[in-house]
Chains A and B, each alone.
Chain A
Amino acid sequence: MLQVISLLVENKPGALMRITGVLSARGYNIESLTVARTLDPGLSRMTIVVDVDPNLRQQVVKQMNKLVNVLQASDLTDSPAVCREMVLLRVRATLESRTAILKEAEIFGARVVDSSPEGFALEATGHSEKLEEFIDVMRSYGDIDVTRSGSVAVSLEPRKLRLQPPVPTKAEAAKVG
């Protein structure tokens, strides 16, 4: 079963490698991964979807929480959360199919982001399964090119963030103490 892990991480070189290393060291293949800055430019939010052995799910999240660059790692798989993905799709559209494609796009809530005599570029967001249906439908109109963003998730319950306050260096502590 796919696991959704949400991480708040320091925006530092090597942070991504450390996090994916927890998974690759255990032989897990990442289904999708997204990362972007948060309101605080020093921090990034990462969403990872990965197929982890059920009895190792907790262990993987604990190991991620141990990483110095990870402020918080949470398993959103079974907790209240919204999970969405975006797809950008280019479909070849002949003159006679253009109207039908636009109708289908409307059904899926997709937007036209580019239009040319050759076809359309469409943008859709939603659940991954819904997007797969959309891609299947579009494929029936001919050759398509698809780029998916991977899932992004947000927890619907507040999560307490425990941060370590600054500590004095050894020499400084010796001076004070």
Chain B
Amino acid sequence: MPNMMSGARMLLECLVREGVDCFFGYPGGVTLPLYDAVYEHPIRHVLVRHEQNACFAAEGYARATGRVGVCCATSGPGATNLVTGLVNALMDSVPVVAITGQVASKLIGSDAFQEADTFGITRSCTKHNFLVKNLPDLPQVIHEAFYIASTGRPGPVLVDIPKDVFQGQAHYAPVSAIHLPGYKVFTEGHTGQIRRAAQMIAEAQRPFVYAGGGIIAANASAELRELVELIDAPAVCTLMGLGALPGNHPNFISMPGMHGSYAANMGMTHCDLLIALGVRFDDRVTGRLAAFAPHAKVIHVDIDPAEIGKNRNPDLPIVGDARRVLAKLNRMLREMDSAARNTQSEARQHWWRQVRAWQSQHPLAPVSSDSEIKPQHVMAEIDRISGGQAIVTSDVGQHQMWAAQLIRFHEPRLWLSSGGLGSMGFGLPSAIGAQFARPDKLVFAVVGDGGFQMSIPELATVGSNGLPVKIIVVNNGYLGMVRQWQELFYNNRLSAVTLDCFPDAAKLAAAYGFTGRTIERPEELAPALKEAVDEPGPYLLNIRVSPFENVYPMVPAGAAVNEMVLAPPQPVPVPK
């Protein structure tokens, strides 16, 4: 029979047809047939050291390229270990396809060895999931999975495949069409609504652009930049949207929200038109929702209709792909002459003067000291050395916020951070995925000492593949963000936040076969970073930073974003 092949081979064929060049995984009992097919297949498999990191690496790959990231795990514990990664991808709308092995079909439901109800467990962790019971369905399902993961609002899709489906032999015919009648993707925004948006923008006196991860997912950075320049409005990018507008663009007013800049949050509060693009009015951005952008009419562009009115009811909703909507909007705005666009009016000029004044009153200035390394100083040095071109991944916590505040990104897909779920341990594995996707790029994994220790096994993946990832541990000996909250809101009772046993970085890196070093003097910082970047292979730089530095500005939970705390309360609390 022509084209007879095993399910495992068929899966790899489908991956090839989807343009997959590498995937991240960890083998096990029921995926043995798959790994046997991988043995002689050109697709590269990257062996990670924990399944959670396979998913994070796939996310790093996807975030850095826009292509679907692929990860693979065995049944039972392999699949359950993927769960955090899947939810992380779901919260941040990252296209990921996860392949899991399942026990043989006839054993499903019998509490077989390494059996878990992966289909049930991951239902709420994915955009969609599949259990393939019959081999002939496999190619169709794989292509549907890629289609669902990468279109509309992207997200993770899991395909659970029993061992006998991998092993079975069947005739393979390439799939030509995907039929998902219930899958609704709204790409073209309503032209009438877009026309109204252009009108609202022209009439606004204090317009403000609030751009998010949706701009990056839609590859709409050029369109965003054109819009911002056409209407000459100040613009903020959320944590997920950093790089959507170049970090050195004159209209870019840094990040808004809980640890956003003073100017960004004041701009949101005082604008009369908020142009919200690919954002979801997350609580970390809005603060107390009732007091968010109280004077503003809101235009909300999003590809997901369920985001419209979820947190803030917009005055003008536009459901569609950000790139197409902005292209149409820009065309309409271009057709107006500049007088009609109103960019030179006295009100607009006054608005800009106000925004500039907020920026200079409380800039996000890097702090430094002669006696100790300030974490902000680390970020300023990374910003200098990367010149807005390096990929920077992060973990979650204080270092993440300092990095987001102070490292500028001149392009999209350079800043890879766990936003919605806030998963510690994301930084290193996502840097691995990003480096595989972009071997040409300088990749920094900027991690805290907490998150780094959650992902330490991946030093082996870095070492064995000789990945030139620069791991920068911003080490304050604390779970800093939790400690910051304990200081401020729990009477400085520091409970379970001390990380007082950290390995010797030089020895640790050497144990994995690469270079590492610890520094603690400010004058060592720039040379050490240069040394790390100049090193052709991996580098682990452990930076002892001042232990009690906290992230400011800060919007306390439940406060409005204009009620920022700009500096530490005096005197600085000293823990016992």
Contacts and interface: CB of A to CB of B under 8 A. Distances in A.
B179 interface: yes
Given A25-B124, A58-B309, A170-B146, A65 B17 contact: no
Contacts of B183: 68, 164
A8 to B, nearest CB: 8
Nearest to A18: B123
B178 interface: yes
Contact of B124 (A21, A167, A168, A170): A21
Interface in A100-144: none
B143 interface: yes
Contact of A71 (B147, B177, B181, B304): B181
Given A169-B178, A170-B146, A172-B177, A14 B18 contact: no
B305 to A, nearest CB: 6
Interface residues of A, number: 29
Contacts of A37: none
Interface string A5-37: 000011001100110010001000000000000
Contacts of B180: 68, 164
A59 B306 contact: yes
Nearest to A176: B176
B184 A65 contact: yes
A47 interface: no
B175 interface: yes
Contacts of B482: none
Secondary structure of the A side of the interface? mixed
A67 interface: yes
28 contacts: A10-B182, A14-B129, A14-B131, A25-B124, A59-B309, A62-B305, A65-B184, A65-B305, A66-B306, A67-B128, A68-B148, A69-B182, A70-B182, A71-B181, A162-B184, A164-B180, A164-B183, A166-B177, A167-B177, A167-B178, A169-B143, A169-B174, A169-B175, A170-B17, A170-B147, A171-B17, A171-B18, A172-B176
A63 interface: yes
Contacts of A71: 181-182
B133 to A, nearest CB: 8
A68 B147 contact: no
Given A21-B124, A25-B124, A166 B147 contact: no
A95 interface: no
Interface string B154-191: 00000000000000000000111111111111000000
Contacts of B177: 166-169, 172
Nearest to A62: B306
B120 A17 contact: yes
Interface of A: 9-10, 13-14, 17-18, 21, 25, 58-59, 62-63, 65-71, 162-164, 166-172
Contacts of A170: 17-19, 143, 146-147
A114 to B, nearest CB: 36
Task: Classify chain B's interface size.
Answer: 20 to 34
B175 A21 contact: no
A68 B182 contact: yes
A17 B127 CA distance: 14
Given A58-B309, A65-B306, A68-B182, 14 more contacts: A14-B129, A14-B131, A59-B310, A69-B182, A71-B181, A163-B182, A164-B185, A166-B179, A167-B178, A168-B177, A169-B143, A171-B17, A171-B18, A172-B175
A59 B175 CA distance: 35
A167 B184 contact: no
Contacts of B19: 170
A159 to B, nearest CB: 14
Q: Which of B124, B131, B181, B182 has the most CB of A within 10 A?
A: B182
Contacts of A172: 174-177
Contact of B184 (A21, A25, A164): A164
Interface string B305-333: 11001100000000000000000000000
The 5 nearest A-B residue pairs measured at CB: A62-B306, A171-B17, A163-B181, A166-B177, A71-B182
Given A18-B123, A166-B178, A170-B146, A66 B18 contact: no
B514 interface: no
A14 B306 contact: no
B210 interface: no
B402 interface: no
Nearest to B310: A59
Contacts of A62: 305-306
A69 B184 CA distance: 10
Contact of A66 (B120, B143, B304): B304
A169 B184 contact: no
A21 B123 contact: yes
Contacts of B17: 169-171
Contacts of A70: 182
B23 interface: no
A18 B175 CA distance: 27
Contacts of B306: 59, 62-63, 65-66
Interface string B279-320: 000000000000000000000000011100110000000000
B176 A168 contact: yes
Q: Which of A67, A163, A169 has the most CB of B within 10 A?
A: A169
A68 B310 CA distance: 20
B309 A67 contact: no
Contacts of A65: 184, 305-306
A162 B304 CA distance: 16
B119 interface: yes
Contacts of A59: 306, 309-310
A161 to B, nearest CB: 9
Contacts of A14: 119, 123, 129, 131
Contacts of B182: 9-10, 67-71, 163-164
B82 to A, nearest CB: 18
A164 B174 contact: no
A56 to B, nearest CB: 9
A18 B128 CA distance: 9
Nearest to B127: A68
Given A17-B120, A25-B124, A169 B147 contact: yes
Contacts of B176: 168-169, 172
B137 to A, nearest CB: 11
Contacts of B310: 59
Contacts of B185: 164
A136 B183 CA distance: 45
